Amino acid sequence: MRVLDNFSGGKLQNLAPILDDIELITGDIRDMGVVAAAVRGVDVVFHEAAEPSVPRSIADPSATMDINVSGTLNVLTAARDADVRRFVLASTCAIYGDSPESPKRETLAPSPLSPYAISKLTGEQLCAAFTQLYGFEAVALRYFNVFGPRQDPTSAYAAVVPKFLASLMAGVSPIIFGDGEQSRDFVNVNDIVRANLLAAAVPGVAGQVFNIASGTSTTVNHVLHTLQRMTGINVPGQYEPARAGDIRDSLADTTTARERLGFVAETSFEDGVAAIVAEEAVITSVGSAVAA
């Protein structure tokens, strides 16, 4: 297994358990030479690299397009030239925008509200074009709100779960943009991994896009209440005005992923949050022991 990362949003320590089992290349997807070396001789490319921040894409759309569009084109081109069997793109539910239709189906007309969403939609279209023009097997997965252990609360892509948990542990009021009744479809990272493996293996899905989600709706207020209950920390939320580019509600129709990929989310929101809280408790306990 080969990993290409510039660690602009990730941490090398997260790879520590598998460093002896992978070939790690530190580099940027905008560097075609590095990308070509990374994909040479591989069977499947999982393209997860991106500038994931909606606010940053609004502040600096050129940078987001450079990474998410030009970078994706580099990876696609290199993978095609290296005769990679299957290419799996990490896309996003943000391409649906604030469409009132719910749940979101893959056939719904895109209505992106930010440069980030536009860049991801362009990546999907590039995948479809490469399949049609070159017979290259590319599949796009529209992730909904991903959460799981070791998610950096300071990351631009972090779901509200790690952000809220970090605030509670510090005794600080978590910031809620809007009234907190906006809803999200949270999907655990373990389910994301399974979806990627299925997308890499299932025949006859080249050129298609799939919603990858739990198919259930959870409000931001419920996220906070769940974390308060599980941690026993009842610090109230701090409500701020809604942010530009944020969508109000997001819920996926996962029928197509179930029927064509055989994908069904297996980790509930409650179980996923419980695992994160338990891990945080272990980390805190170890930290206290070291300090002592």
Enumerate the active-site residues.
116
Tokens of 152: 């950096």
Structure tokens at 206: 């080249």
Neighbours of 164 (CB within 10 A): 25
Amino acid at 86: R
Coil, helix or strand at residue 26: strand
End-to-end CA distance of the chain: 40
DSSP tag of 143: E
| Residues 6+ positions from 83 with CB-CB distance below 8 Å | none
* Joined tokens for residue 75: 């990876």
196 backbone dihedrals φ, ψ, rounded to 5°: -65, -45
Contact 116, 65 (CB under 8 A): no
- Alpha carbons 74 and 31: distance in angstroms, whole number: 8
Inter-CA distances, 238 with 136, 270, 278, Å: 48, 23, 25
DSSP character at residue 19: G
Q: What angle do CA 51, 96, 132 make, to 5 degrees?
A: 80
Q: Which amino acid is at 219?
A: T
**Contact present, 195 and 257 (Cβ < 8 Å):** yes
Separation CA 91–CA 178 (nearest Å): 25
